Structure 1
Amino acid sequence: MEILTMGVEEEFVLVDRATRAPVNRAPAVIRHAGHTLGPQLQTEFFNAQIETCTQATAHRHHLRDELARLRTTVAAAARAEHCRPIACGTPVLPPEQPLTVTDTARYRLMAHRFAPLVTHPDGTARDDGLVCGCHIHLGTLDRTHALALTQHLRPWLPVLQALAGNSPYARRHDTGHHSWRAVEHARWPTVGPTPVLTDEAHYLAHVARLVSDGTLLDNRMVYWHARPSEHVPTLEIRIADANADLDTVVLLAILARGLAATLLPRVDTHLPPPPVPRTRLLRAHRLAAAQGLTGNGLDPSDGRERPAAALVDALIARARPGLDAAGDTDWAWQQWERIRADGGGAARQRAVFHRHRRFSEVVDALADATTRS
C-alpha cells in the first residue's frame, strides 16, 4: 500500500503576555523568526495571526519534530514582542484594540469585496472574523486523484472535525459548542462539503464560474472542507480547529493519511464513492461542531446517529490498513484513548475555566500547551 506524504499548516493567534488579548504584532514576529523559518512562516488575514507550514514527510516522528520546532521558534520570536502564540480555533478573549488586516494587495481586496464579513458599518474590524484552523495536506496527488479521493473521504470528515474541536469560548463567552470556529468560518463563501466533481476539467470549470460570478475572489478562495491545493500537488483537508495539544495534531494527520491510503485503491480501480446527500453531510458537520466528542454524530455508512466516540473507533478501524502500512496503528490507538479520557481540546479548556473561573487561566493553559513538546 502506498504511504502518502503529509504536511500540516497551523494558524495561531498572537496574544499579549499581560492582557492575554489578541494583538496586531504578526509583522514584528515574522521579522524576528523569518530569517530562521523563511517561507515556513507566513502571514494570515489579520495581523493578530500567523501561519506555519511543515515540509512534506512520510514519517509521523518527523512531522511531530518539525511541528515542535516551528512552534518553539515562533514562541521565541513572539516573546521578543511581548506576546505568545495560541493554537485555538477562536480567541478566548476579545482584542482590546481593533484588529487590522494584513497589508497585502490580496487581503486588502478581500477585505473590500467581502466587507460585511470583515468590518462593522463604522469600518472597524469584526472580532468574530478571527479564526484559526489546522490544514492537513496529503500527497503527492494530481487534481483528478485528489477530487476522486475527496468523494470517498467526505462521509468521514465530520468525525475528524469532532476529534479536533478546540474552540468552545469566543470573546469571553461559552458558545455551547465544541468548535465555534466552524460556525464563524462558515460565513465565508464555499465553506462546506466538497461538491461532487468528477475530474479536473469539471473542477476548473466550476471554480471559474464561482470567480466569474463574484462568489470568489480567485481560485485560492475555495474553502471546501477538502480540496485540491492550489500551491502544492496535494489534497488539503480543512475541517480542524487549531489545537494546542501537539499529539492531537499529529493524530489528525495520520488518521487522515491512513484513511486516504486505505481508500485510494478504490479510486485507482474506479469504484464509485458512497452516495451521501449533502443535507446529511451538513448535519453531520453541525453535530460535530456543536457536540464534539461528547454527543452524537452521524454514521458515515447509513447516516444514523451514534456516539461520536464510537465513530472515532470506527474511523480508526476503517483506516487500519493505511495506519498499519505506516506503522501508526498502536500510536493512534494510544492517543485516541488519552483524548477519549479527557474529552479533547474543548473539554480541556472548559475544565481549566471551571477550576479557576477566569478566562485568563484558559489562555495561559493554551499558551503553555502550544509550546509544550
Structure 2
Amino acid sequence: MTTAAEGTTTISPELAERAEQHDLLTLGIEEEYLLVDAVEPRGVEAVEAVLAEVPEELRPSVQHEYLRSQIEVASPPQLELTGLREAMVSLRTGLADAAERAGSRLVAVGCGPAAGPSSRLVDEPRYHRMRERFGDLSPGQGVCGTHVHVSIPDEETGVQVLNLLRPWLPTLQAATANSPLAGGRDTGYASWRSMMWERWPTVGPTPYLRSHEHYLTLIADLQASGAMLDEGMLYWYARLSARYPTVEIRMGDVMPTLDDAMLLAALARALVATLVAEVRAGREGPEVSYPLLTAAHWRAAKDGLEGLGLDLATRETRPAWRLLRQLVDYVHPQLERHGDAELVTDLLERLRERGTGAARQRALLAKGTPVAGVVDWLARTTRGEM
C-alpha cells in the first residue's frame, strides 16, 4: 500500500551523474510481504517482532505496512539490474531470516491464501485516521504489491509518460498475477489482490492528464472530496512519486521469485524510457476510455498470462502472452540501451516455462498439494530456495 513515506532512498550524486552522462534511467523496487505463522499457513500479526530482528544495515530499507501481518522493503535506486537484484536478495534473505527468528515466515504473495483471522492495523495515527475515514476496506490478512520506480527528467514529461503508459499496464499486471487463493480456496482470479484492492476510492487506472498542473488539481480535488487523506493515498496504477523524481508503476502483485520481479523492473524501465523518447518527439498518449481501461485491468486480474488480454489498440481480446511479446518487442531498443536485453530474454523464457505465480500455485493444487503446502512453497520460493 505504501501509505506512509515511500521507502526508496535518495539517489546518490555519483549515480545520478552516470545516468545523466549516458542518458539512462535509474530504477528501484518496493515489495510488500505477508507474514505467516511458522506452523500454520494463516497470516500472523508479527511485524513488530520481525522488525526487532532485522539486521541494522537493512533497517533503512524496511518499514511497516498498513496491517500487522505485513511488512515492506524498498531497494536503493540502481542503474544496473545486477545491482538491483543483489540489493533485493539481501533484503529478501535478511527479512526471511528475521521473520524466522521471530517465529513466523515471510511470504511473497498478493493476499492471504489460507483462512485466518483479519489482522489489526499497525498502531500509527495515520492508519487509525484511514480506518476512521474509510472503514474496513482492508479486511483479511493484507494485500501485497510490487511498485517499480523509474527516473524521469521532469514532472511535465512524467505526466505525459503517465498518459502513454495507460494502455500497457494491464499487460504488465497480467504478468505479475500471484494471488489466486484466498481463505483457503481458489477465487477464480489469477490476482484476487487486484479485486480486493479496488475497493479503495482512489485505486484504478491513471486518468488522462492534460498537464502537471492538471495532475496537482486532481490531487487537491480528491483530498477535498474526502476520498483520500493526502497525496500518499493516490493509488492510481501509475503516478508521480510525491518524494522522488520518478514515475511509480504500482498495479502488480508481489511476485514469488526475484526472477519475476527483475523481469517486471526491466520491462518497466524500458517502457518508461521508450515513452520519454516519444514525449520528446511530440507524441501524445491515446485517450483510451476509462471504462475500457478498467475492463482491461479486470481481464488481467481474471486471467493473468494464462488466458486472454484486451488489446486496447484494437479493442479485441488476444492471448495475454502475445500482448506481452508485443510489449517486449516495442521496448527492445531501450532494453538494449540499458544492457538488459539478454537477461530479459532469459527471464521471459523462464516465465513462459513456469507460468506466473498464480499458475504455479494452481499447478501445485492440481497435484493434490494442500493450501498449507502451497504456502510452504511460497515461503521457500520467497527466500530463493526453489
* TM-score category of the 2 structures, normalised to the smaller one: over 0.9
Give, in whole Å, the separation in 2 of the partners of 1:296 and 1:173: 23
Task: Say which is worse superposed, 253-262 or 331-340, in terms of deviation.
Answer: 331-340
Question: 1:16 aligned to 20, 37, 51, which one?
Answer: 37
Match of 1:297 in 2: 309
AA aligned opposite 1:318: Y
Q: TM-score, normalised by structure 2?
A: 0.91
Shift, 1:45, TM fit: 0.2
Q: TM-score, normalised by structure 1?
A: 0.95
Question: 1:325 aligned to 337, 340, 345, which one?
Answer: 337
**Secondary structure, counterpart of 2:166 in structure 1:** helix
**Secondary structure, counterpart of 1:138 in structure 2:** strand
**Secondary structure, counterpart of 2:114 in structure 1:** coil
Match of 2:105 in 1: 84
Q: In 1, are the aligned partners of 2:158 and 2:247 still within 8 Å (CA)?
A: yes
Q: Please list, as runs of the form range in 1=range in 2, the aligned pairs for 1:217-296 lying within 5 A after superposition.
A: 217-296=229-308
1:357 matched to 2:357? The reply is no
Q: In 1, are the aligned partners of 2:114 and 2:183 still within 8 Å (CA)?
A: yes
**Secondary structure, counterpart of 2:168 in structure 1:** helix
Shift, 1:198, TM fit: 2.1
Shift, 1:231, TM fit: 2.1
Q: 1:141 to 1:184 in 2, by over 3 A?
A: farther
Shift, 1:202, TM fit: 1.2
Match of 2:50 in 1: 29
Q: What's the CA shift string for 1:244-271, capped at 9, x where partnerless?
A: 1111000000001011111211112332
Match of 1:153 in 2: 165
Give, in whole Å, the separation in 1 of the partners of 2:261 and 2:304: 16
Shift, 1:315, TM fit: 0.5
Shift, 1:143, TM fit: 2.5
Q: 1:350 to 1:103 in 2, by over 3 A?
A: same
Q: In 1, are the aligned partners of 2:67 and 2:122 still within 8 Å (CA)?
A: yes
Q: 1:34 to 1:204 in 2, by over 3 A?
A: farther
1:316 matched to 2:337? The reply is no
Give, in whole Å, the separation in 2 of the partners of 1:236 and 1:366: 26
Q: In 2, are the aligned partners of 1:3 and 1:322 still within 8 Å (CA)?
A: no
Mind listing any 5+ residue stretches in structure 1 that lack a counterpart?
Answer: 119-125
Give, in whole Å, the separation in 2 of the partners of 1:255 and 1:290: 22
1:368 matched to 2:380? The reply is yes
**Secondary structure, counterpart of 1:9 in structure 2:** strand
Give, in whole Å, the separation in 1 of the partners of 2:275 and 2:334: 9
Mind listing any 5+ residue stretches in structure 2 that lack a counterpart?
Answer: 1-21
Q: In 2, are the aligned partners of 1:194 and 1:227 still within 8 Å (CA)?
A: yes
Shift, 1:48, TM fit: 0.4
AA aligned opposite 2:113: V
Q: In 1, are the aligned partners of 2:152 and 2:158 still within 8 Å (CA)?
A: no
Match of 2:130 in 1: 110
Give, in whole Å, the separation in 1 of the partners of 2:50 and 2:24: 36
1:162 matched to 2:174? The reply is yes
Shift, 1:141, TM fit: 4.2
Give, in whole Å, the separation in 2 of the partners of 1:334 and 1:27: 38
Shift, 1:342, TM fit: 2.2
What is the Cα-based RMSD across aligned positions, in Å? 1.4
Give, in whole Å, the separation in 2 of the partners of 1:210 and 1:274: 24
**Secondary structure, counterpart of 1:188 in structure 2:** coil
**Secondary structure, counterpart of 1:243 in structure 2:** coil
AA aligned opposite 2:123: D
Task: Say which is worse superposed, 267-276 or 9-18, in terms of deviation.
Answer: 267-276
Give, in whole Å, the separation in 1 of the partners of 2:87 and 2:136: 37
AA aligned opposite 2:226: G
Q: What's the CA shift string for 1:171-230, capped at 9, x where partnerless?
A: 101011110111000000111110112222211111111101111111110000000011
AA aligned opposite 1:30: L
Give, in whole Å, the separation in 2 of the partners of 1:34 and 1:69: 11
